[in-house]
Amino acid sequence: MPSSRSPWSKRSLTAQAMGHVDPITKAIVPPIHVTTTYIRDEDNAYSSGFVYGRPDNATIREAEEVLAMLEEAEAGALLFSSGMAAATAVFQALDPGDHIVASKVMYWALRNWLMTEAVRWGLKVDFVETDDLEALRGAVKPGVTKLVWVETPSNPLWTITDIAAAAEIAHAAGARIAVDSTTASPIHTRPLTLGADIVMHAATKVLNGHSDVVAGVLAGAKADAFWARVASIRKMQGAILGPFEAYLLMRGMRTLHVRTAAQAKSALDLAQRFSSHPKVARVLYPGLPQHPGHDIAARQMENGFGYMLSIQVSEGEAAAIRAAARVGLWKRATSLGGVESLIEHRASIEGPGTPCPPDLLRLSTGIEDVEDLYRDLDEALRG
């Protein structure tokens, strides 16, 4: 849906970074604003709207404007220094003793933070398979639960939670719902339009898309007191993004629609082909009809099913690790969403307590030739 302030589509607005032109030089790429402080008016006011570099930076605001447009976020968007900084700010805006229900399968670092630091600060956290709506309904405590945190598709099993149904459950209990939509991106899913209150992205991933920026973002459905508290936490704790990083993020987002289309197409192609591979026991990808969450994904995702998939190697953990060691074009590295394709034996990274099967390889599909990607991994699996 186009921006309410423009007749142009989201794709056009993103490609031109909202069409901003520098008023002085007429440059079509806005300058990087690095100042830390601003001139006051003669009456000591700040008519420019900029006071100090920590909460106020024009380069960061320009990137936030694009993100808010993509997510249709009435409250706007807030950029953070990392995905973890963005996610934990939401939990820090709660009060000690508040109850949280969170997806059992989620980004491992956030799950570990919730099991340790969040508990130390007095939050009460229950993990549940949020794709099971009855389990979610049973875990939410009316009047007690204050936040439901959903990751969908969930990393690295790519389970799908029905966001609209989960939002109904959360709101009926008097709780907010926040969605980690990192692997979907606003190109494939817009959680706020499905009833979510907050959407979070590790902008390090596909939003930037070039593996050279660490950033996070929150977008809000409504500018209420809770959203104001989240914004205050970012400001007071200094969890801000630098202007150069915001510039690089904006640079990356200009090609977001083109990249995600290519990556999703290749991911589906690979998922289909590896589904019948003799060395692969199972492919996990929501675009496959046999995926348990396929019907929900087809309803709430658009423009494809994303760039992430996992394969379970038929000969087990050792064979999976060997295959990851043999690839040439795929890069054996952590992270996801970049233009280069990455492969990782995820259970080794997450360690004890991980819900990740030991025979699983996580694949982040880039923009390389899909025939090259298939041949490289096929040869690595066959040894």
Res 6: pLDDT: 81
- Report the candidate in 217, 307, 298 with the shortest Cα–Cα distance to residue 256: 307
Residues 172 and 216 both lie in one domain: yes
Let me know if 10 is a catalytic residue. no
Residue 55 has pLDDT above 80, yes or no: yes
- Are the C-beta atoms of 285 and 158 separated by less than 8 Å? yes
Q: What percent of the chain has pLDDT over 70?
A: 99
Helix axes 256-274, 370-382, angle to 10 degrees: 40
Q: Which amino acid is at 213?
A: V
Res 379: pLDDT: 98
Q: What percent of the chain has pLDDT over 90?
A: 94
152-209 pLDDT, tens digit each: 999 999 999 999 999 999 999 999 999 999 999 999 999 999 999 999 999 999 999 9
Domain boundary among 199, 218, 251: 251
Let me know if 269 is a catalytic residue. no
Q: Which amino acid is at 156?
A: P
**DSSP letters for 304-341:** SS-SEEEEEETT-HHHHHHHHHH-SSSEE-S---SSS-
Domain boundary among 251, 276, 306: 251
Tell me how far apart the terminal alpha carbons of the chain are, to the nearest angstrom.
47
Residue 75 has pLDDT above 60, yes or no: yes
Q: What is the mean pLDDT of residues 314-320?
A: 97
> Is there a domain that residue 4 lies in?
no
CA–CA gap between residue 67 and residue 350 (Å, rounded): 30
Catalytic residue among 180, 197, 359, 376: 180
Beta-strand pair 99-103/331-332: unpaired
The pTM of the full predicted model, rounded to 2 decimals, is 0.95
Residues 365 and 282 both lie in one domain: yes
Catalytic residue among 205, 259, 279, 346: 205
Res 293: pLDDT: 97
Give the chain's domain count.
2
Residues 147 and 289 both lie in one domain: no
Residues 241 and 263 both lie in one domain: no
Average pLDDT, the chain: 96
Residues 115 and 237 both lie in one domain: yes
CA–CA gap between residue 17 and residue 63 (Å, rounded): 8
Residue 9 has pLDDT above 60, yes or no: yes
Q: What is the mean pLDDT of residues 103-114?
A: 96
> Is there a domain that residue 298 lies in?
yes
Beta-strand pair 360-364/342-344: antiparallel
Q: Which residues pair with 80 in a beta bridge?
A: 216
> Is there a domain that residue 2 lies in?
no
Residues 19 and 109 both lie in one domain: yes
Residues 242 and 329 both lie in one domain: no
235-282 pLDDT, tens digit each: 999 999 999 999 999 999 999 999 999 999 999 999 999 999 999 999
Catalytic residue among 10, 104, 107, 307: 107
346-380 pLDDT, tens digit each: 999 998 888 899 999 999 999 999 999 999 999 99
Res 192: pLDDT: 98
> Is there a domain that residue 1 lies in?
no
Helix, strand, coil shares of the chain as percentages rounded to 5? Answer: 40, 15, 45
**Domain region containing 347:** 257-382
Residues 84 and 189 both lie in one domain: yes
CATH number for the domain including 328?
3.90.1150.10
- Are the C-beta atoms of 190 and 198 separated by less than 8 Å? no
> Is there a domain that residue 3 lies in?
no
Q: Which residues pair with 319 in a beta bridge?
A: none
- Report the candidate in 89, 94, 163 with the shortest Cα–Cα distance to residue 124: 94
At a CB cut-off of 8 Å and minimum separation 6, what does 258 contact? none
Domain boundary among 251, 284, 303: 251
Residues 278 and 245 both lie in one domain: no
Residue 4 has pLDDT above 70, yes or no: no
> Is there a domain that residue 5 lies in?
no
Residues 280 and 141 both lie in one domain: no
Let me know if 162 is a catalytic residue. no
CATH number for the domain including 119?
3.40.640.10
Q: What is the mean pLDDT of residues 284-303?
A: 98
Res 149: pLDDT: 98
Q: What is the mean pLDDT of residues 35-45?
A: 93
> Is there a domain that residue 223 lies in?
yes
Residues 98 and 232 both lie in one domain: yes
> Is there a domain that residue 363 lies in?
yes
Catalytic residue among 54, 141, 222, 254: 54
Q: What is the mean pLDDT of residues 44-50?
A: 92
Let me know if 61 is a catalytic residue. no
Residues 288 and 336 both lie in one domain: yes
